[in-house]
Structure 1
């Protein structure tokens, strides 16, 4: 058997970010920038009012008060979107709306609440300071300034900034397209009532959803028969529409494990027994002229999802131009003792609790069998028990990986520098072994 970090390191050393492509902003959400983005304009592009009120000279309001207001004629209205270049005369004012261009010569805006709201002539009840309530041109962003660095993931706020500084598209790493293939003669579609010997395909929807949770594009093909020609045909069909393929089932030592039989003949997929529980049978390689990564996961549902979190998710993030691990494991204290298999890394499903500023605490989330979906649905994270630990005692500190890319709990002690509780974290060890390629 090989260690978890060895299998993961081989995967991370193989996959690379997808080739960058230029995308319209509307199609770039979730993508990672492949180049620095510079502003083509200043923000704001012109001096504008931060308030509804009156644009004027601050010196013209000197001494204004409720009991002794300053009266100024109003030369007109300036609304947001007004493109006329207005000029203010000393001793006069303009009524101005929020976001509207400040007229030339004005150096302050008095909010309407500090006036009588006059339309032809206004009474100003408070003196204004120079620059009051004016958003100066370029005070947010200067023309030519780098506003988003390469490697930034584009969410709503970043897309808003890109659009505001003059960009309609961006050079990005596209979102990987993942196809999940479920194999097994026993599988029937979700929504069907299984008969004797039949099993509903829960792995396909689960893995496709896990991929979408990562922010990649996922589709699935279910109910593929355990027959080599059928498996080979399906895989060939999916190569044209996939940047990565994830199979579930058909990779153990059984006589009818067609996925392993087909991919073994291609010579590019290596099958290993990984020292982990659950999820021992694993395979990884590349297929086709485009060297599409293929991940073969076990058929038991818990084994399948744990394998996805440990091996597939880091690879897909790297393909998307992101860090393989975007959240570090956290350190929590066990509420109860439990056994762990010798010489294997255990990934135990746990429920996480926290109280105020106390350290996180964890307990097992029900049964730990690789087929038990109930405890998987209840779990908040995976407790990672190293292979040299066979007994976790109540009160011991252990590592917890969040499920679905999250940090488990509100008050966390985050593991750093790959060392936690005096033990190396498999993710840090794999990254070190794989190098920084990609």
Structure 2
């Protein structure tokens, strides 16, 4: 049997990634909802649809500064000419209409007033519209008179007016459950008279790196020492995913120390992420410790998944509160890919977000790449939009160089288990990495 055949036979013994994610993620439930003040809700996920209890605008109002009038009183005024290329323009002498200005209305005016024939009110944008008014004439279409005003041009009926409920009607769905609360949403809710919303809290995520060989950042690796890049990177990734993330740092390969540390963190965590020790080698202590059932302590199941890079992933619960834990490989590139396929969706599920996976597109591959048979490979890539529509994707460094590739990637090229070679010009799936959160 050839080396390639041996590798494919070994890969066939691994659990397909889709099957693993289906069996794992269905065990998670969104965190219980909280009723939050509107100013605190930004960035959280709505736990219920938000319905407008009041209209917006709440009353008929002027949309511009000008003069509120009855359109029939302006019918004799001249109109501006118009041309699609040049816009509106003055066509020459026109007959004006003179109206008496019977008052001024500002945004703070509250007493109802009524128009009579031949009269108008000077109004500011946002002012309540007088009863009977159905048009607001822009200031620059008049002589800007104070006691009486000359109307030089007649706008269309309804111009310069915002009617009650014109933008948001009572009972309208303003946002649906599963949506992140954005600043424009906050403004929309406030405008409709909403002061509190029901949201899922941001998941509290604790990140722990394990291994006797680990040392903290600030010095280079030496034989027998490896700088802990993972806990820093995974904490940043959890924050990017919308979590409140806490880096605990390095835990040595001490079984009791590890158990105690994790149980202590269950008091403040909705999810724990570990990195390192997921394999079956002599130094992989975490897998041996967490896969043993403990009374009231939960159990973590480790699975060899058809994933490249990094095949060994762990998922389960720890502590009396049975806080979910995700165990990722120790190699930095594999840890970050493992975060993308398992930990990030877990955070999204706890937050109640929909969808839980990143968006994907079909893209035109610019360079031929090879992929290990039997494994679903996630390879760093650069995605660009094509003129005329569609996308192109340029593969970046993968395999043992995945970490450096990820540093400049804005997408992940996905090559399925049956793909050993993807030719330039073929169409492939790409996950879009949004780094703006």
Indicate the TM-score class for this superposition, using the shorter chain for normalisation. 0.7 to 0.9
**Corresponding residue of 2:395:** 364
8 Å contact kept, 1:317–1:323: yes
Asked if 1:165 is matched to 2:195, the reply is no
**Deviations 1:200-245 (CA, angstroms, capped at 9, x unpaired):** 3221121122222222222211122222222122211211111111
**Corresponding residue of 2:157:** 130
Matched position secondary structure for 2:26: helix
1:342 aligned to which of 373, 384, 403: 373
1:384 aligned to which of 414, 431, 434: 414
CA drift at 1:328: 4.1
Matched position secondary structure for 2:154: coil
1:18 aligned to which of 31, 36, 39: 31
Asked if 1:271 is matched to 2:302, the reply is yes
8 Å contact kept, 1:368–1:375: no
Instruction: Give me the whole-angstrom Cα distance separating, in 1, the residues matched to 2:227 and 2:100.
Output: 78
Instruction: Give me the whole-angstrom Cα distance separating, in 2, the residues matched to 1:290 and 1:357.
Output: 54
TM-aligned CA distance change 1:304 to 1:140, over 3 Å: same
- For 1:24-423, what aligned pairs fall within 5 Å after superposition? 24-65=37-78, 67-265=94-292, 266=294, 268-357=299-388, 359-369=390-400, 372-404=402-434
**Deviations 1:341-392 (CA, angstroms, capped at 9, x unpaired):** 22222222223345413653334313521x6522221223222222222233
Matched position secondary structure for 1:332: strand
Matched position secondary structure for 2:29: coil
TM-aligned CA distance change 1:127 to 1:360, over 3 Å: closer
Aligned length: 405
Instruction: Give me the whole-angstrom Cα distance separating, in 2, the residues matched to 1:359 and 1:47.
Output: 45
96-105 or 385-394: bigger deviation: 385-394
Instruction: Give me the whole-angstrom Cα distance separating, in 2, the residues matched to 1:30 and 1:184.
Output: 34
8 Å contact kept, 2:383–2:411: yes
242-251 or 154-163: bigger deviation: 154-163
Matched position secondary structure for 2:399: coil
CA drift at 1:326: 4.6
8 Å contact kept, 1:117–1:123: yes
5+ residue gaps, structure 2, are 1-13, 79-92
TM-score of the two chains, using structure 2 as the length reference: 0.86
| Root mean square deviation, CA, Å | 2.3
8 Å contact kept, 2:262–2:318: no
Instruction: Give me the whole-angstrom Cα distance separating, in 2, the residues matched to 1:86 and 1:141.
Output: 25
TM-aligned CA distance change 1:361 to 1:42, over 3 Å: closer
TM-score of the two chains, using structure 1 as the length reference: 0.86
5+ residue gaps, structure 1, are 407-438
Instruction: Give me the whole-angstrom Cα distance separating, in 1, the residues matched to 2:317 and 2:267.
Output: 14
TM-aligned CA distance change 1:233 to 1:78, over 3 Å: same
CA drift at 1:272: 1.2
Instruction: Give me the whole-angstrom Cα distance separating, in 2, the residues matched to 1:67 and 1:312.
Output: 71
Instruction: Give me the whole-angstrom Cα distance separating, in 2, the residues matched to 1:67 and 1:56.
Output: 19
